[in-house]
Structure 1
């Protein structure tokens, strides 16, 4: 077994802090203490705290992208979009603080709507866009701006997730998932032919 590099140890320590306490708890000093190195040694691997947080968020997006790539949803447009929604829900509920960092914390270099999305630079939005395009081509969905719909659907789900994680919804995870499904169905009703 090979020994992990210092950079890997730093990222791992930062992930643990993120999962336990959230992004605000991550400081170069705390990460260094967890690894057993000096704070200055962390700067050899990450230029600053923002760079470390960006690295963590990028890691979260890579994990979510892998889940989406492994999905291979089948069925009609609605069913395939539901499967994509389930992947987002699983990711968010398993790693809530990572999800918050990825989607809600301002970060330098974070993808922005509409330019990055329209350019295909969002690997987590591209699968939904492809399904929506197919639905429009098949005549199942009304012709509309695919990227605006992707962004709206994401905003609906992310907003519900953050309200749930923030304790603003008094329901179990199972009930919350059902609520998300009903919300999705109402949204789909509005864009279907």
Structure 2
């Protein structure tokens, strides 16, 4: 079996364990059992557990950025900005453990605002900032620092999702989605030109 195919199998097994039980469920022994290898064989493909978890996080960022970019073609720029925030919510609810690890947990290599984001090291916030810039250039959003505005939008949506997932809303998912949309619309009204 080729090295890339084995690495992919290891990564898929690790992600499945992660999806079921979060980062603490990912062990070299559990992965090895799932793919039919010895635990030591995994180290030929990933130097340690942290590297494997980092790869899962990186892939998660790329996955959500890909979905955002796909919904970011043509049409009304404000509608696209709202669509990006819906995808973020969809991802958080569909993949709670990946969401937490990627966006809510301290990690050694996590990007820091503002320098890492302004240097375009965030595959996710790059998409939001680009739409903010486009909306500003079209006269749809007030002038201002696009990265600060993108971070404000992210902080707002992330905060709502974190509160919902922590049980701070009595809404069911449908009701929460309605509230989320209305809250985001209120925020956007404040920055629309």
TM-score (norm 2): 0.90
Q: Which residue of the partner structure matches residue 55 of structure 1? A: 55
**Could you tell me how far apart the structure 2 residues matched to 1:84 and 1:132 are?**
11
Q: Does 1:111 align with 2:111?
A: yes
Q: Tell me the alpha carbon deviations over residues 84-118 of structure 1, each in whole angstroms, 9 at most, x when there is no partner.
A: 11111222221111111111122232222111211
CA contact (8 A) 1:50 1:108 kept: no
2:125 paired with 1:125: yes
Distance 1:98 1:20 in 2: 10
Post-superposition shift, 1:74? 4.1
CA distance in structure 1 between the partners assigned to 2:171 and 2:42 by the alignment: 41
- The runs of at least 4 aligned residues of structure 1 exceeding 4 Å deviation read none
Counterpart Cα distance in 2 of 1:175 and 1:73 = 28
| 5+ residue gaps, structure 2 | none
Supply the RMSD in Å over aligned alpha carbons. 2.0
Equivalent residue number for residue 35 of structure 1: 35
Asked whether the 8 Å contact 1:13–1:31 carries over to 2, the reply is yes
Residue 156 of structure 2 corresponds to: 156
Q: Partners in 2 of 1:73 and 1:181 — Cα distance?
A: 21
Q: CA deviation at 1:138?
A: 2.8
Distance change in 2, residues 1:73/1:183 (3 Å): farther
Distance 1:72 1:141 in 2: 17
Q: TM-score, normalised by structure 1?
A: 0.90
Indicate whether 1:185 and 2:185 are aligned: yes
